[in-house]
Amino acid sequence: MQTHSQKPGAVTMRISVISLARTPERLVEFCRQNDSKVRYDVFPAVDGSKFAPQQLTSTGYFDGTVSYTQGAIGNALSHLQLWESIAQGGFPATICEDDAIFHRQFEEQSERLIAQLGVNWDLVAWGWNFDSILFAELLPRLGRCLFEFDQDAMRHNASQYVQCEVNPNLFKLLNAFGTICYTISPSGAQKFIRKILPIRRMDLFNPRLNRVLPNTALDVMMNHFYAELDCFVAFPPLALTLNDHARSTVQIPKQVGAL
């Protein structure tokens, strides 16, 4: 793992950024956006194009009933490998993808919020895809809230937003798409591994679209388990993604066959 450091003497939770070796320009842009804000290790992403379907089923990661792109395969395996490491290591860690843009207050605010949770928590999402919903319980016992966002406005204002003052709070996470940036505890990693593996066909109801979504990527599958586990979301977010589909290494137009 390649390590990048920033402020001398800063103490922060480990951050691992997932980046594919054959797309170095994405890591260059990540470094440009974030080197002054956070310290991180570079985790070499798994290249999904290097796996035959029978390899994936024989290892127990996939059961052969889903259709993931090669990018989605690599993305899922990358997150799973990091979960396995965190579960074994015994310490929480932050995982992000190489299109994440951190808020300048990420370190101080994320540490403050994690400390408020005590020991019984599984995952905290710091950002999500703005082209979809955020479904959360903002006021305990007073009902659930469904949020929609203007992704174009976010893209236009992202550079200003990540420099402004924010004071986010944590709320119970029910649905959010994207695995752009989150912190996961060792117990949370163990729970997600048990529930995710093997990656299989699971249909998810989307309340905004009022329809069922097939399991086409890890973030879709994770949505099945947020409500039943101790998962939270920071609002307003402490990480953004421009979510440029043209540059995505996960969801590409051509789908691979069922595994």
Structural domain includes residue 256 = no
Look at phi and psi of residue 232 and say left if phi exceeds 0, alpha if psi is from -120 to 50, else beta: beta
Domain range for residue 116?
2-247
CATH code for the domain in which residue 228 is found: 3.90.550
Q: What is the pLDDT of residue 247?
A: 63
The average confidence (pLDDT) of the chain is 90
- pLDDT interval class at 10 (50, 70, 90): very low
Q: What is the pLDDT of residue 8?
A: 37
Indicate the pairing of strand 2-4 with strand 40-44. antiparallel
Report the amino acid identity of residue 6.
Q
Structural domain includes residue 163 = yes
Q: What is the pLDDT of residue 13?
A: 83
Structural domain includes residue 156 = yes
251 pLDDT higher than 80: no
Q: Is 252 exposed, middle or buried (0-12, 13-18, 19+ CB in 10 A)?
A: middle
User: CB neighbours of 162 closer than 8 A, spacing ≥ 6?
Assistant: 37, 101, 102, 103, 104, 240
Q: What is the pLDDT of residue 245?
A: 67
* Token pair of 141 as six digits: 């016992």
Report the amino acid identity of residue 110.
S
Question: Mean of the pLDDT values across residues 42-53?
Answer: 94
Q: What is the pLDDT of residue 203?
A: 92
> Which DSSP category does 206 fall into?
E
Q: Of all residues in the chain, what percent carry a pLDDT higher than 90? A: 80
Q: What is the pLDDT of residue 257?
A: 32
Higher pLDDT, 149 or 9: 149
Question: Mean of the pLDDT values across residues 42-57?
Answer: 93
Structural domain includes residue 124 = yes
Structural domain includes residue 257 = no
Structural domain includes residue 184 = yes
> Which DSSP category does 229 fall into?
T
Structural domain includes residue 259 = no
- pLDDT interval class at 37 (50, 70, 90): very high
166 pLDDT higher than 50: yes
Q: What is the pLDDT of residue 205?
A: 87
Q: What is the pLDDT of residue 53?
A: 83
pLDDT in tens, 168-218: 999 999 999 999 999 999 999 999 999 999 999 999 987 777 889 999 999
Number of domains in the chain: 1
Q: What is the pLDDT of residue 35?
A: 97
Q: What is the pLDDT of residue 12?
A: 55
Question: Mean of the pLDDT values across residues 56-70?
Answer: 93
256 pLDDT higher than 80: no
Structural domain includes residue 18 = yes
